[in-house]
Structure 1
Amino acid sequence: METTSAEKYYNITRIDIAQFFQDVVDFINQGYPSILSYYEGGNLPANSLKVLDDLLFRAEKIDAAFYNFSGQMKTTDMWDLLDTFEDTWGQLLTINNTSKWMRSSRVGRYDGKFYLERALADFENFEQVASSVGSNDPQNDWENIAIDNFIIEEKYSPRNGGPIFKISLSSTANFGIQTVVDSLVGERILGKDIDKRFYFKDNDLAIVEYKDAINQTIDTIMNTLKGDIPEFPEDGISNEFVGTNVSAIQYPTLFRNLSTMFAKDDRFIEVNLLSLTREDDYIIMKIKIRTVNSDSFITNINV
């Protein structure tokens, strides 16, 4: 009877990789659904998470054995076995990051409350704040925010807002953000991106995070011309505006082009034109952009 690749691996390393594969299949069928349920607001699946940790620990040992005994694994079937193992390990690592892939407000494995830091925007009230985090009864739930933060009415005003406070997020909070792959808590809701300067840092591509990522995105949108993005040739400012006399520019069309791009990124919830002024041979458009966590960014476009 021909020896299987899993048996060869066992004879070399004394690690039962076939049993590992079977245990992963059993876990995906039986344990993984409870982890999905947890990040949607269900109960903490302690046993399933323990099994996941054990499988990840075993995967590291199997990976090390492939490296340490590579000199004895020279047949093509062992390469096929390595490919199967790496695919399986990748599935486990993906499951371990379920919170990020599901954009869950639950960050870790502890069944408790999660908080978002906020400040009141101009003319915003606490009922609107309660509504923004998924409250079904914001007219009453705003009182809980006020009580939990020991809020004193005199410290807040419609125009100037007030001190930063914390909001307890619902365990099933859903901000509807698909642009970001992360646990949507605090600044994480603003996401990360590869730094447009494109350089390496700590043996990996440098990134920008949170507000820096938003600023980079705003700058990218402002400088994108139609045709710059092959997949979306209609996105961006029309090339017709480049080199055009300021008197001939159609400003509503220009602003609509920009608004369309911001609308495609669900981290942005509002774009307003604050002013339109002419200086010498160019026009300055002052724009205010508001993000889903109520941060505001003001920028100028020179046309």
Structure 2
Amino acid sequence: MTSSGSASEPASDRTDPRAALRADCGSCFGLCCVALPFAKSHDFAADKNAGTACRNLQEDFRCGIHARLRDEGYRGCTVFDCFGAGQKVSQITFEGVSWRERPQTARTMYEVFPVMRQLQELLRYLTDVLDLPRAAPVHRDARRARTDIDRLTRAGADELLAADVPTIRADVNTLLLKASELERAAVPGRKKNHRGADLMGARLRRADLRGANLRGTLLVAADLTGADLRAADLIGADLRDARIEGADLRGALFLTQAQLNAARGDSATRVPDDLTRPEQWSAR
């Protein structure tokens, strides 16, 4: 399939660049529930192979246990974010025709979905860069990269599958690093560098991590209660079960909704304006 269905793009996506980077499950053919595999574990109640529909997927492509995912043992689903890849593949790449309506396209659709997700994630980070005033020296390159990647996401399935995503990601990462350094340089004092560190279960209660480099840091079950994470670079940081009750994440760089959903916060946790406080925090 080679055509582009840009006419199917919601008007809101054209006026709000972040709208197209948020999952719209109502416009998706349940791709994360079909294309991706998962194994029975703490995060999933059963095994599922790639290309096989989850047993909870309904005929209308909605999840039959969406309101009870954590209770039913599907915690992993609650922390997954496709960055809008699902609706883009469904409505633009395949022009609104589902894998149920046209089974011969199913395999290609499933292969395109993870590629699209990576590209959408990069678009999200580049959009973040353009919102950072101190990163102005790289704004032109970031804008150009975003335009090129957005154009690719609107191409046909063949072109998407042929894309050299690792090279695209490496080029974007160079821009993200520069933007991060420019933004964090304005934070006074010496900034901590924990890039790629294993801080699983670390005791960082009330730690001053303003402007810290936490790129790719393993923070699973770490105690960040009351920590100051303003302007900290959190791209790729693993926050599963990290305690962030009362932590300040305002202005944290490259923080995603999926990372927030995976962490344990409460009503006192301060989050960036463009992210949503997870529902499961309401009981805390």
What's the TM-score once normalised by structure 1's chain length? 0.22
Structure with a larger share of its residues in strand:
1
Q: Which has the higher contact order (CA 8 A, sep 6+)?
A: 2
Structure with a larger share of its residues in helix:
1
